[in-house]
A and B are shown apart, each in its own frame.
Chain A
């Protein structure tokens, strides 16, 4: 066992001197990820919240034909700019981005209204313009409101109860709590945590086989009187250490950064207390030896450092496959799914953030299966170092 420790210490120290690798594994990944995540989140939330009250600019051609409609729109926060566009000019103005949307009032608008027919309006908007689409939806909604109002008035004038025209009334009841609402957005968090964790150990995993071979240091290493699996165990241990470090840094960064995004302002609460952060780290930790052994195994079958990098970059996507699949088919966590490594960690992290109580059986199964798979992979990696083909 002393050899395992010797290899571990040497690998840990050597990697510590690899400044650029260290920078990406322990600084950029764990810190930049959470920062970008929180930045994007805040931006999205602020826009979502802000949309309802910011003034809505609307260019209107021939507004004089519909003075009541314009008064209604102005009442509801629309800034009306009178313009003098014909159809072609309106199209061109929207397409060129000069106007976000143009409302054109037809010549017989008032006439059709007076006889109780549908009065024509044209709304020019660019559906491919994502930032403008919510604006045009608001305009359309306001016009629909105005239209419904007129309809009710018409019915009332004719002595008919307007409620007759509304046979069904749907009431939306939102049962989400502040915590569950934020989880919808924080769903990507567990993915980022797993990804950064794996990246933290990638360099060392490659180095254990492909790197040693390329440098020509593998053969001397294999001539020392130490059982070969002990050499690879030491290397996997060092990989684990860096992955655990990366995991801890990432989760800590998330906990701190999310504290400052102020999700509460938007009716969401992030349950990311130091206790939850610790629980997230502990529940993800069994995935560390699994990832380290898997990356070491894959790297051992490659012929060069470059090839190993290519394969491991692909391997980084593997833990995301169950996550993406679960998202697509709308899987909900239950006991059997806790037997799938990475998916179970995803569910457990999400549940923790929702402030739900985790069933002990879920935790036990997730930890147990993940560690069992890790043990199998480590044993397989140990066997690899006994293979001659490793020398390339």
Chain B
């Protein structure tokens, strides 16, 4: 369960996030939808405690990201934007390293890594140095790294960027599987189709403000639009004026 309460973040004179409140419940995939520069990444970065909000707070399973960041982080699996991995380590070593940092004992992190390698179909490249991996293989490595400590909550920032169709489908299946296991999944995207294909709940954000939150049907109904895409365009259009 992830809850943002009136988050605000300024960078010098620029207010990147003005006021963002949202809920991402367990057992649901929540999509953070907004045009480029809407404040999606900044919001997620505050949720996963890399940025400190100027105002407001975020609760991860009830733990404050501002006051108890370590406890909040322990409950989060994070796939940041353009998540980089260590090129001189193999894919498996990349995962093991984060397992160790998450506090898993040696045997436990080995077993969990093997499990993830199987789950994400990484057997073929798991023991190759990461420098030679393809974009999709890197993403799977980064995803496994985010899941190594079995977090209840998963945050993904534009996870499908630069992936081919097959990789996107595999990622979707994985996120649905995690949802069905009762995880809370929150991801950001500026791609309409992505969100409508995957999300149970949508948060529309523009100019650092939440415009709508609800199921795709609810948002369509409230904006009186025929499709989610049209609803999105109308919402953004209103915000731009």
Interface residues of chain A, those whose CB is within 8 Å of chain B, are 2-3, 6-7, 10, 13-15, 17-18, 212, 215-227, 388, 391
Contacts and interface: CB of A to CB of B under 8 A. Distances in A.
A6 B97 CA distance: 8
Interface residues on B, range: 20 to 34
A220 B97 contact: no
A225 B88 contact: no
Contact of A220 (B71, B84, B87): B84
B36 interface: no
Contacts of A2: 103
B6 to A, nearest CB: 20
B74 A14 contact: no
Interface of B: 45, 48-52, 70-71, 73-74, 76, 78-89, 97-98, 100-103, 129, 142, 145-146
A212 B70 CA distance: 21
In the complex, the 7 A-B pairs of residues with the closest C-beta atoms, listed nearest first = A216-B84, A225-B74, A215-B84, A217-B84, A219-B80, A225-B73, A224-B101
A180 B133 CA distance: 59
Given A225-B71, A225-B103, A391-B50, A220 B88 contact: no
B81 to A, nearest CB: 8
Given A6-B97, A17-B129, 14 more contacts: A3-B101, A6-B101, A10-B86, A10-B89, A10-B100, A14-B88, A14-B89, A15-B88, A215-B85, A217-B83, A217-B86, A224-B101, A225-B73, A226-B70
Contacts of B79: 220
19 contacts: A14-B86, A14-B89, A17-B129, A216-B82, A219-B45, A219-B50, A220-B80, A220-B142, A221-B101, A223-B48, A223-B50, A223-B78, A224-B73, A225-B71, A225-B73, A225-B74, A225-B102, A388-B50, A391-B51
A226 B101 contact: yes
A14 B93 CA distance: 10
Contacts of B71: 225
A388 B49 contact: no
Contact of A224 (B45, B81, B89, B102): B102
